[in-house]
Amino acid sequence: MSKSIDQIFISAKQWLLSWLTGAPDWVIQVASSLINIFTLLAVFLTLFALMSVLERKILGRIQNRYGPNRVGPFGLLQPVADGIKMLIKEDIVPARADKIVHFLAPILIAAAAVLALGVIPYGRNMTPFTIDGGILFFFAVGSTTELAVFMAGWGSNNKFSMLGAMRAIAQMISYELPLIITVLPVVMVVGSLNPDAIVAAQNGYALGLVPRWFVFTPWGATAFILFFVSGLVESNRTPFDVPEGESEIVAGHMTEYSGFKYATFFMAEYIGMFAITGLAATLFLGGWHSPMRALEFLPSYVWFFAKLSALLFVYIWLRGTLPRTRVDQIMNFAWKFMLPMAFTCVIAAAVWHYAGRGLRGWLWSLVVIAIVYTALSILLDARRKFAPRTYRFAE
Amino acid sequence: MIGIGILKGMAVTARNFVGSYFEKERLITVQYPEERNPLPENYRNFPFLPYDGDDPHAGLRCVACKICEKECPPQCIYIVKSEDKKPDYMGKPQFYPAVFDIDISVCMSCQICVEVCPFEAIKMDKDFELSRRERFDALLLRKSDLAKSNEYYQRICPTDAAEVDAKLAAAAEAAAKKKAVSAAAATAATSPAR
């Protein structure tokens, strides 16, 4: 019974494809791909709508407010109202803009974000497009976002757009490095770039209790946090939202966009967020595996989306907590802290592997990470450089 | 250690997030159209014309002296004096405003009209739900819109209204006494001649 519920979407797809029996192979393949694409878009656009209203509600609660609660029950129809508002707004293209680039940027950024979703395993046998170099594909497509952001900034022919785009490029390229290097230990340990193989490698339970997710190893936990923070920067979320800091440069590269094009940028940002959290869950949180043997009766996709939601909640939580960082702070953090820690993760994973992947390896890799972390904490402690602040008149 | 401050901050927001579901006093939002906070007694926005008794025409205190019209800084008051007279609260025949318009899209709520009025005939209202679909005629209040009963004034500003009522009653009493005295004097003055 639970087996059939677990595979219900696969069975549904098989049933749909059974209408095509007898058709040539390529027709079936194209139909299968189209089904995957439509399912992906339907699921994630719904999630985007839900996320946009839940984010506002959670942020409201963090600030002791109610959040949107007027449109529909509990304000859940708010995204419909927002969508209608966006659709009927005038689409303004600046007279001196580079029309083609200005038009292509939102399309490209949305396409890149959606493409990245295609290689993530959402459940048992539920990877939309199985690619052997799936992780590589994810990052290759993900870096296209930077091009699109710069196209938007350049094509708008606006100083704020340009500044925002340059800030975005600077921080995205800086954080692309730790983002990819933190994936390295996982790829090293599993020995494959295939997301399905990475999920399969996290199957089972150590000591019959703790799941063998990579996040429960010292190098995995560190890499997960680094990956998470880099993902935060890649999706331009608070506290790393300098590219679109409202108080400084209006809306960054989106300044000259209005109406549906602006909505597309917004959507691409959220879809990119889903992709990066989905990959974090796949790489470090065991993908669609359940955390306890007793809970394995729940379908695999439920576990995947539970992990995705938990990570997205932390994204919103961070947004409600932290103020915007300065550009130099972001850069210093990337090059002085994130990058050395990312390399340490690679070394710690190697130590873990060669010390026998057991308790001994666990402790040794913890030692490696603790040494580097403490050293970096001491070296980068800015507080020591200043004398205590004294006030002459105010007390 | 790097990151400890972030964890502390996240603990604070987590307390707010969870707490706002359990402690109602955390939420300071007033769900406006359904629930509303009482207005402070000194709140004011636009002027209105209080009248005594039940009839807006007979009870209107305004005598069309036009002081408020002249003093109004943005000049949003327009008054036309009547041809005939009607008795005021002391029974004395007075002019009354045939037309009294206030353009509240121009009014700046300065209360100068209230301060200069010698007859307590113009007071500040508290009705703030004035959004209209049209910005000219709908926001030009006529005499019929402006005239509101003294009971309404007593309800929105109890302290001020009590003061005004006491003052007017004293004035009416003084006037009645004076009338009686002068009437007596008149009889005294006329009787020897008779």
DSSP state at residue A326? P
Q: Is the pLDDT of residue A230 over 60?
A: yes
pTM greater than 0.90 (yes/no): no
Q: Is the pLDDT of residue A394 over 80?
A: no
How far away is chain A from the Cα of B92, in angstroms, using its nearest Cα?
56
Tell me the DSSP string of A120-189.
Answer: S--STT--SS--TTHHHHHHHHHHHHHHHHHHHHHHTT-HHHHHHHHHHHHHHHHHHHHHHHHHHHHHHH
Give the pLDDT band of residue B101 (cuts 50, 70, 90).
Answer: very high
The answer to whether the Cβ–Cβ distance between B20 and A64 falls below 8 Å is yes
- Give Rg (Cα) of chain B: 26
> Which residues of chain A are within 8 Å of residue B33 when distances are taken between CB atoms?
none
Tell me the one-letter amino acid at A301. Y
Q: Where are the domains of chain B?
A: 47-165
The answer to whether the Cβ–Cβ distance between A62 and B10 falls below 8 Å is no
Any CB–CB contact under 8 A between B13 and chain A?
Answer: yes
Tokens read off for B106: 């121009």
**A78-87, A287-296, A378-387, B5-14: least confidently modelled range:** A378-387
Chain B residue with minimal CA distance to A320? B13
Among B133, B113, B137, B129, CA closest to B62: B113
Q: What is the C-alpha to C-alpha distance for residues A326 and A43, in angstroms, rounded to an integer?
A: 35
Has domain B47-165 been given CATH number 3.30.360.10? Answer: no
Tell me the Ramachandran region of residue A361: left when phi exceeds 0, alpha when psi lies from -120 to 50, beta otherwise.
Answer: alpha
What percentage of chain A has pLDDT greater than the value 70? 98
ipTM, two decimals, is 0.72
How far away is chain A from the Cα of B31, in angstroms, using its nearest Cα?
9
Chain B residue with minimal CA distance to A314? B10
Q: What is the pLDDT of residue B135?
A: 86
Comparing A323 with B186, the larger pLDDT belongs to: A323
Q: What is the pLDDT of residue A182?
A: 92
> Which residues of chain B are within 8 Å of residue A376 when distances are taken between CB atoms?
2
Q: A187, A197 in Cβ contact below 8 A?
A: no
Tokens read off for A317: 């939580």
DSSP state at residue B99? E
How far away is chain A from the Cα of B44, in angstroms, using its nearest Cα?
28
Beta strands in B22-130 (DSSP E): 47-51, 77-81, 86-87, 93-94, 97-103, 123-124
How many helices (H) and strands (E) chain A has is answered by: 15, 2
Q: What is the pLDDT of residue A118?
A: 87
Q: What is the C-alpha to C-alpha distance for residues A276 and A286, in angstroms, rounded to an integer?
A: 15
> Which residues of chain B are within 8 Å of residue A373 when distances are taken between CB atoms?
1-2
Average confidence (pLDDT) over A141-154: 88
> Which residues of chain B are within 8 Å of residue A375 when distances are taken between CB atoms?
none
Degrees, nearest 5: CA angle A132-A135-A138? 115
Best mutation target among B2, B6, B17 (most A Cβ atoms within 10 Å) is B17
The answer to whether the Cβ–Cβ distance between A321 and B27 falls below 8 Å is no
The answer to whether the Cβ–Cβ distance between A321 and B10 falls below 8 Å is yes
* A5-61 tens-digit pLDDT: 777 787 888 888 888 777 788 888 888 888 888 988 999 999 998 898 999 999 988
Q: Where are the domains of chain A?
A: 91-380
> Which residues of chain A are within 8 Å of residue B13 when distances are taken between CB atoms?
62, 317, 320-321
